[in-house]
Chain A
Amino acid sequence: MDTNQLKLLRKLMEIEFCLVETNLYLDTHPSDERAIRLHNTLAKELKELEYEYTTNYGPLTHQNMSRCPWEYIKGPWPWEIEYCGCD
């Protein structure tokens, strides 16, 4: 797995996590405009990252398009990937 793919996956995880956080905050603060702006910025960035990932490396989820043969089963599986960088 080349480093750029790993970096992209890491960035995707980071943005998706932040979207969970803004979602939870907005559930209880629906009219916090700053939080809405942050959420939308992150959502836009996620879409761009997903596009970049899928065009370069194939499907990220089972709902993404694939060339032939079916690329979704092309490894490694998420649990086989060594992420690090939190220390």
Chain B
Amino acid sequence: MDNKDMYESKYKLAHAYVPFQVMGRVYSPDKALCKGTLFPELYMPYKYKKEKKKC
């Protein structure tokens, strides 16, 4: 976004926030390693075409 957009756009200034995480359910270790996180609430992968990895 170039500067022009920033001034007219809908973004409110200084409204960044990070809600405080409370640990709920956790993945099992094997699943956590594959998903890249222990916490389901933090699992948000970018969608991509998965190519099969040969074993």
Contacts and interface: CB of A to CB of B under 8 A. Distances in A.
Given A14-B33, A17-B32, A87 B52 contact: yes
B32 A87 contact: no
Contacts of B26: 38
Interface residues of B, number: 16
Contacts of B53: 84, 86-87
Interface string B4-22: 0000000000000000010
Q: Is the interface of B mostly helix, strand, loop or mixed?
A: loop
Residue among A10, A13, A21, A29 having the largest count of chain B Cβ atoms under 10 Å = A21
A25 B29 contact: no
B50 A34 contact: no
Interface of B: 21, 23, 26, 29-30, 32-34, 37-39, 50, 52-55
A-B residue pairs, 8 tightest by C-beta: A21-B38, A14-B29, A86-B34, A84-B55, A14-B33, A17-B33, A18-B29, A14-B30
